Structure 1
């Protein structure tokens, strides 16, 4: 190992595998600790349930209340940890982010007159995961994920992922939106401005779930449809939506 010592045995825990692999390994190894903690919490729930029954003069039902509270506490603790692990699925490669976002977009937008084209590219220039065209305008949506402890924030107009600048992520998406807009303007004669969105499947966003920085909007996948719906309607007519959609389907390469 470069920089290592032949006299000091290397700790295999920190060599040779991806962060995702180690995350899953540590998750499995910690299962016993989570169960032990869950038993303790369920025990507290058991006592609390019995105390509530006694407090309201329901002593005869105290065993039932105790078991009910213990079960609710245990189930809540299991659900909390399951959701935390499930939230990393895209980052770990267990699920595809574009599939999740596509489902959110179609469920929330298609009945409102929006068309969603998936996996489109301008040959040799740019590619995006989703192109959304509707009454409120046109959007490109890409998908990305970072490690669960990566804080995503905007400071003084700059995008940050942890302590790293986010310009290398923002700039290509802004350029892709501009390239798509230029193509659609040229081919249809309809003046459109395309708004770039980035669906974040893993990483620490603010409580609002949205960050605006360096020309793009980063947000949780479930908020993509809501944000697009919030745009003022009437920007594009039904005829313009149809023309733009047909042109995009014809001119843009499917990827």
Structure 2
């Protein structure tokens, strides 16, 4: 079979955007139908409560709210794929969320750090509850991310390689910082998932790695229920990390 030229060289992201644009008329038709139903319900409610004089206005108001809500859901659905489509950078999004939630609680966030020739990460978080490394990743919107029998899966593929890499990176970073500061530390690896199907709750824990929605990373860090480091230790670890870890 000869390859169809219109498919050659086209990425899944390109086709996703193409189909999204082509489906716009169908989404608008659906929105009109939903708004019409909202109008009927609004009028019926107004009549039911004896507000016949403003029934049409109430119907129009409810129809507008339904249409706006439906548009918002569509917009959020498309925006949720932005990192996967290359329209936004996951590390920028996560960095803002981390600093916004943790900055006032004594945590420091170092972005783009690496042990030369060995490993690199997007974010290193140091604070009262301990240390975390966070990387960012994105899969296609229909990729199910789950744990079965203790194994990590991305769709039908094993996620062991991804988990092992981040676990080993966290161990390498912890070994370096412990050696240079003489403060024994462990580092917890997190993976911020910007696109893909996570289970209800938005968190999967498998093979030593926690995968979660970016907005939940700060929440997980703050949930550490013990004080592992004092202010002096945090400052020393931060200065050492800034000095010893190269910018990725």
**What TM-score comes out, normalization by structure 1 length?**
0.95
Matches within 5 A, 1:108-123: 108-123=101-116
**Which residue matches 1:75?**
68
Matched, 1:48 2:33: no
Q: After the TM superposition, which segments of 4 or more aligned residues of structure 1 sit over 4 Å from their partners?
A: none
**Which residue matches 2:28?**
35
**Which residue matches 2:229?**
236
CA distance in 1, matches of 2:186, 2:244: 18
CA distance in 2, matches of 1:57, 1:134: 59
CA distance in 1, matches of 2:98, 2:31: 37
Please report how far the alpha carbon of residue 11 of structure 1 lies from its aligned counterpart in structure 2 after TM superposition. 7.4
CA distance in 2, matches of 1:43, 1:104: 38
**Which residue matches 2:204?**
211
Matched, 1:26 2:26: no
**Which residue matches 2:4?**
10
CA distance in 2, matches of 1:70, 1:116: 45
The number of residues matched between the two structures is: 248
CA distance in 2, matches of 1:59, 1:36: 29
Taking a change above 3 Å as real, the CA distance of residues 151 and 51 of structure 1, as seen in their structure-2 partners, is same
CA distance in 2, matches of 1:237, 1:50: 62
**Which residue matches 1:133?**
126
CA distance in 1, matches of 2:162, 2:57: 55
Please report how far the alpha carbon of residue 40 of structure 1 lies from its aligned counterpart in structure 2 after TM superposition. 1.0
**Structure 1: unaligned runs, 5 residues or longer:** none
**Which residue matches 1:86?**
79
CA distance in 2, matches of 1:130, 1:141: 5
1:181-211 deviation per Cα after TM superposition (whole angstroms, max 9, x unaligned): 1101111111000000000000111111110
Matched, 1:194 2:190: no
Query: Residue 60 of structure 2: SS of its match in structure 1?
Result: helix
CA RMSD of aligned residues (A): 1.1
CA distance in 2, matches of 1:126, 1:11: 40
